Amino acid sequence: MSEDTIFGKIIRGEAQADIVYEDDQCMAFRDLYPAAPTHILVIPRKPIPRLCDATAEDQALLGHLMLTANKIAEQEGLGDKFRLVVNNGEGAGQSVFHLHLHIIGGRALKWPPG
């Protein structure tokens, strides 16, 4: 269950995180194992395990997560040079089954990713 992930614990205040932003729908904190100088995770308070589990009911929430990522990128001084990543499913590298957007920036980013 998504509620039982480490991110669920962070939302409930049961686990520590370096929180950079929060509102009634989402929160954002620094990745514990950063892949770039700036690496922040944006997560909904609602426990959606994977992007593919989101439904039409989540449309506004998903938009909010992306616009919040924009705001955080600006706050972090990333300008227009950052990447948003959603790993969907174990085969795509997802390791925490609570939906999250990675904001990655602060270094040159190559394409395609591995």
Residues that bind ligand AMP (CB under 6 A): 6, 17, 29, 31-33, 41, 87, 93-96
Alpha-carbon distance of 45 to 34, in angstroms, equals 22
DSSP assignment of 4-30, as one string? GSHHHHHHTTSS---EEEE-SSEEEEE
User: CB of residue 32 vs ligand AMP: minimum separation in angstroms?
Assistant: 4
Nearer residue to ligand AMP within complex by CB, 78 or 99: 99
Would you say 33 or 111 has its CB closer to ligand AMP?
Answer: 33
The residues that are catalytic are 100
Minimum distance from residue 35 beta carbon to ligand AMP (Å): 7
